[in-house]
Amino acid sequence: MLKLIQNEWMKLWSKKSSWIMMILLVIILFAGMGITKWVNTTMNEGIDERWEDRVTAELVNNQSMLSTPELSDAQREYYEQQLAIAEHRLENELPPYEYTSMQQQVLDSHLMLSLVTLFTVVVAAGIVASEFSQGTIKMLLTRPVKRWKILTSKYITSMIFGVLLAVITVAVTALAGLIFFGIGDGVFLRWDGSEVVEGSFWLQALKLAALSFASTWMIGTFAFMLGTVFRSSSLAIGLSIFLMFTGVQAVFLLSNYEIVKYYLFTHTDLTQYYTGTMLVPDITMTMSLIVLFVYFVIFMAISYWMFSKRDVTA
Amino acid sequence: MSEQPIVQIKNLSKTIGQKKIIKNLNLDLYKGQVTGFLGPNGAGKTTTIRMMVGLMRPTSGDVTIDGLSIQKDYEESIQKVGVIVENPEMYKYMSGYKNLLHFSRMHKGIAKQRIDEVVKQVGMQNRINEKVGSYSLGMRQRLGLAQALLHDPKFLILDEPTNGLDPAGIREFRMYLRKVASENGVAVFVSSHLLSEIELLCDRIAVIQNGELIDIKNVNDLHQSRYYIQAEPAELAEEVLTGIGFPVTRHEQGFLVDTESEHVPGAVNMLVNAGAKIYAVQPYRATLEDQFLEMTGGGQIAQAHTE
């Protein structure tokens, strides 16, 4: 299996498109950081906001959120924690990171993972389909290797590509943040279950990135399935990206029905449990993980079944 | 042929929808022998070959390679097979060497040395590190052969291997194949609709039409000794020749006589003594094309009429 993955990895990086995607990602991250810097310096000229004012505003906001009646338990818990952290900051004079600091940029880097999703979709959709369109599938499947092993190596390879791009995203954000903004003052605080403690922003950033990656992983798996079933990468890429943009919108359309709880895109954003912006009130992390796993099993089952059984006529 | 066959096709059938593409095919292939697989377009050559290499699943029947079923023991049986299905499609964006490395990793125990060895065997040392996209069709065909030989197969199967090659390329390819069959003792199975090509390359020919195997012939049988004799008056000549005891058939303005060369001078003498005027005596070779058209009933045009 290792040799098969090695093969897929070699093919992947022999294609120019993979390098272009990676370089594009780095350029976009740097450019984005540059634009943020520029906007900040031109817009905020002369405005000198104290951090205490910001935290106080946050604190007030959290209090008002807590007084809304239709809050779910998870949301209530989240706002209570945020409130405790804000109070702790003011009491002990522990400022949060400035928006224009490397640390805050790293903490927000998971927001850029949609770009990683896009590129992972391109690779996952094409990794099987391109073998069919180039005709190389005949060479690949007349080897003493069972078809399911070949499919597995392709799936793992496209997911490793996704993970690599995600890691690059966090690393490049840190580098660009360092260059454009430098290390800012501040302390990262978190709720450890009973009290507010200092934490590592790196760990928090990686945790958020890993949770965001669930979405990349699911949409990538979906694209992989479409590429395997239709043997056309353009169709698979098109459909996956369409769903990536409209899928979350559909959550709001479905929100009045029970079925929304079993809908894939209600659950793909796992960071919702840590940022207080839950799409549907009464869902839990456990439930999301179960739903994602069921979808994953269905996507994979269809891919394997189609790939193993079908006659190759290309 | 007392020898154990390397490949056995047993009652192979394939039905797609309502249509029977392959009907109960049986064929044995032997070591060191090149067998041609001949048939008009759409006769089922490619489908048969795809079933033999596991790309398609037979509806019924089986193919065994060295006694192992391609369906039940896929990994072990296919290990013994080298395949070129139509034009060898390689990864164009990689070098020839990387392509071979890629395929070598899918077999057990192929050392890097073996890659170099095969590259040398097909004479590609100079360009193996260039991208396949820059290769000519002939070069690609050679690389295709290299990947098929990489794991030292006992059985080599080629589907329309000379498609699109120029005459020099075809000739070169034919030499390689012959060499592999005789030196490595490999059983070779080649499908083609190019009759002249098959005739030069193969020891044996299997003819398929409408999914049925209609004939298996040794190429040597095709070249049985025949002479064309033209003499006047025809009636007299026919009388004399049948009198000697030769099988005689009328052909154009003369006769075809099945005989060995040593009997020809005698026959000529007797004709002269009988007072016949001889205009031509020449060896006669029926081309494979004649035989093929005879066997398949004139190919697809005739077939269309009968349907």
CA distances to A294, A300, B218, B223, B273 from B260, rounded to whole Å, are 78, 69, 19, 12, 21
Is B32 part of any domain?
Answer: yes
Contact predicate A51/A96, CB 8 Å: yes
Residue with tokens 């009328």: B250
What's the pLDDT score for residue B99? 93
The answer as to whether B298 is a domain residue is no
* Residue A2 sits at the chain B interface (C-beta within 8 Å): no
Which of B221, B238, B258 corresponds to the end of one domain? B221
Residues B126 and B246 in one domain: no
Tokens of A102: 């490397």
Cα–Cα distance measured from residue A251 to residue B16, given in angstroms and rounded to the nearest whole number = 43
Nearest Cα residue to A214 out of A252, A161, A271, A152: A271
User: Would an 8 Å CB–CB cutoff place B57 in contact with chain A?
Assistant: yes
Residue A114 makes CB contacts below 8 A (sequence gap 6+) with A215, A244
Please answer yes or no on whether B53 and A142 come within 8 Å at the CB atom. Answer: yes
Task: List the alpha helices (DSSP H) in B185-218.
Answer: 195-201
B213: distance to nearest CA of chain A, Å?
Answer: 22
What 3-state class would DSSP assign to B281? strand
List, for residues A79-90, the tens digit of each pLDDT value. Answer: 888 888 888 888
d(CA A81, CA A92): 16
Q: Pairing mode, if any, of strands A196-198 and B204-209?
A: unpaired
Which of B167, B200, B221 delimits the end of a domain?
B221
In a domain, B295, yes or no: no
Residue B25, in any domain of the structure: yes
User: Residues 3 to 62 of A: which have CB under 8 A from any B CB?
Assistant: 3-4, 6-7, 10-11, 14-16
pLDDT winner (highest mean) among A32-36, A54-58, B161-165: A32-36
Cβ atoms within 10 A of the Cβ of A105, count?
25
Of the pLDDT bands very low, low, confident and very high (cuts 50, 70, 90), residue A314 is: low
Q: Are residues B229 and B182 in the same domain?
A: no
Within an 8 Å CB–CB cutoff, is residue B279 touching chain A?
no
Chain segment A278-295, per-residue pLDDT in tens: 777 778 888 899 999 999
CB contact under 8 A, A144 and B105: no
- Exposed / middle / buried, residue A35 (Cβ in 10 Å: 0-12, 13-18, 19+): exposed
CB pair distance less than 8 Å for B54 and A10: no
The number of domains in chain B is 2
Cα torsion at B185, B191, B192, B193 (round to 10°)? 130
Give the minimum alpha-carbon distance from B184 to chain A in angstroms, rounded to a whole number.
20
- pLDDT bin (cut points 50, 70, 90) of residue A309 is confident
- Whether B170 and B258 map to the same domain: the answer is no
Are B109 and B183 in the same domain? yes
Strands B68-69 and B60-65: antiparallel
Q: Are residues B256 and B216 part of one domain?
A: no
Q: Where are the beta strands (DSSP E) in chain A?
A: 189-191, 196-198
Residue A182 DSSP symbol: -
Pick the closest to residue B279 from B295, B289, B268 (CA basis): B268
Judge contact between A215 and A267, C-beta under 8 A: no
- Is residue A62 scored above 70 in pLDDT? yes
- Burial label for A20, CB within 10 Å (0-12, 13-18, 19+), is exposed
Greatest extent of chain A over all pairs of C-alpha atoms, in Å: 72
Contact A167, A19 (CB under 8 A): no
> What whole-number distance in Å separates Cα of residue A61 and Cα of residue A55?
10
Q: Say yes or no: B126 and B154 in one domain.
A: yes
Contact B19, B65 (CB under 8 A): no
B210 located within any domain: yes
What's the confidence (pLDDT) of residue A48? 66
- Residue position matching structure tokens 């006669």: B284
Show which of residues 105-134 on chain A sit within 8 Å of chain B, judged by CB atoms: 134
Rounded CA Rg of chain A: 22
CB-based contacts of A77: which residues, under 8 Å, 6+ apart? none
Q: Identify the pLDDT of residue A129.
A: 92
Assess A144–B contact: CB distance below 8 Å, yes or no: yes
Confidence (pLDDT) at A271:
86
Q: Which pLDDT score, from 0 to 100, does residue B302 have?
A: 39
Q: What is the mean pLDDT of residues A120-144?
A: 92
Residues B68 and B212 both lie in one domain: yes
Q: Which two tokens stand for residue A208?
A: 């958020």
Identify whether B293 is part of a domain. no
Rounded to whole angstroms, the Cα distance separating B121 from B106 reads 21
The mean pLDDT of A49-65, rounded to a whole number, is 83
Average pLDDT of chain A?
88
Alpha helices in chain B (DSSP H): 45-52, 74-78, 96-104, 112-121, 137-149, 167-184, 195-201, 219-222, 234-244, 264-273, 288-295, 299-306
Q: Is A258 at the interface with chain B, CB within 8 A?
A: no
A138 and chain B: CB distance < 8 Å anywhere?
A: yes
- CB contacts of A311 in chain B (<8 Å) are 50, 55-57
The interface predicted TM-score of the complex, written ipTM, equals 0.82
Residue of B nearest to A310 (CA): B56
The domain boundary residue, chosen from B168, B203, B221: B221
Measured distance CA(A132)–CA(B164) in Å, rounded = 21
B147 and B229 part of one domain: no
Say whether both B120 and B16 belong to one domain.
yes
Residue B29 forms beta bridges with which residues?
A: B7
Residue B283: cis peptide before it, omega within 30 degrees of 0? no
Instruction: Supply the CATH number for residue B177's domain.
Output: 3.40.50.300
Q: How many residues does chain B have?
A: 307
pLDDT in tens, A4-18: 999 999 999 999 999
Length of chain A (residues): 314
Same domain, yes or no, for B243 and B101?
no
Same domain, B50 and B178: yes
Q: How far is CA A241 from CA A17, A219, A248, B265, in A?
A: 18, 8, 12, 84
More reliable by pLDDT, B169 or A228: A228
A192-219, pLDDT tens digit by residue?
878 888 888 888 899 999 999 999 999 9
Nearest in space to A151 (alpha carbons), one of A37, A280, A302: A302
Whether residue B147 lies within 8 A of chain A, CB to CB, comes out as yes
Q: Are B206 and B38 in contact (CB under 8 A)?
A: yes
Cβ of A144 within 8 Å of Cβ of B90? The answer is: no
Across the interface, of B83, B87, B105, the residue whose CB is closest to A7 is B105
- Taking contacts as CB-CB distances below 8 angstroms, the residues of chain B near A5 are none
Cα gap B14→B12, rounded to integer Å: 7
From chain A, pick out residues whose CB is under 8 angstroms from the CB of B52. Answer: none
Spatial neighbors of A87 by CB under 8 A, at least 6 apart, are: A59
Closest by CA position to A117, among listed A34, A224, A15: A224
pLDDT (0 to 100) of residue A221: 95
**CB-defined contacts A:B, below 8 A:** 78
| CB-CB contact of B276 with B240 (8 Å) | yes
Residue located via tokens 């989240």 = A78
* Torsion angles phi and psi, residue B49, rounded to 5: -65, -40
What CATH number corresponds to the domain at position B245? Answer: 3.30.70.120
Residue whose pair of structure tokens reads 């003792």 in the numeric block: B185
Q: Does B72 touch chain A (CB under 8 A)?
A: no
**Half-sphere exposure for B180 (CA within 13 Å, toward CB):** 29
**What string of pLDDT tens digits covers the 307 residues of chain B?**
457 888 889 888 988 888 888 888 888 888 888 888 888 888 888 889 999 988 998 898 899 988 888 888 888 889 989 988 777 789 999 999 999 999 999 998 888 899 998 898 888 888 999 999 998 888 888 898 889 889 888 899 988 877 767 777 788 888 888 888 888 888 899 988 777 778 788 888 888 888 888 888 777 665 567 788 888 888 888 888 788 777 777 777 788 887 777 778 888 888 888 888 888 888 776 666 666 666 666 544 434 433 3
- Distance from C-alpha of B125 to C-alpha of B119, rounded to nearest angstrom: 6
DSSP-derived pairing of the beta strands B212-218 and B226-232: unpaired
Q: Do B89 and B20 have their domain in common?
A: yes
- Within a domain: B299: no
Instruction: Answer yes or no: do B94 and A135 touch at CB < 8 A.
Output: no
Residues of the domain holding B240 = 224-283
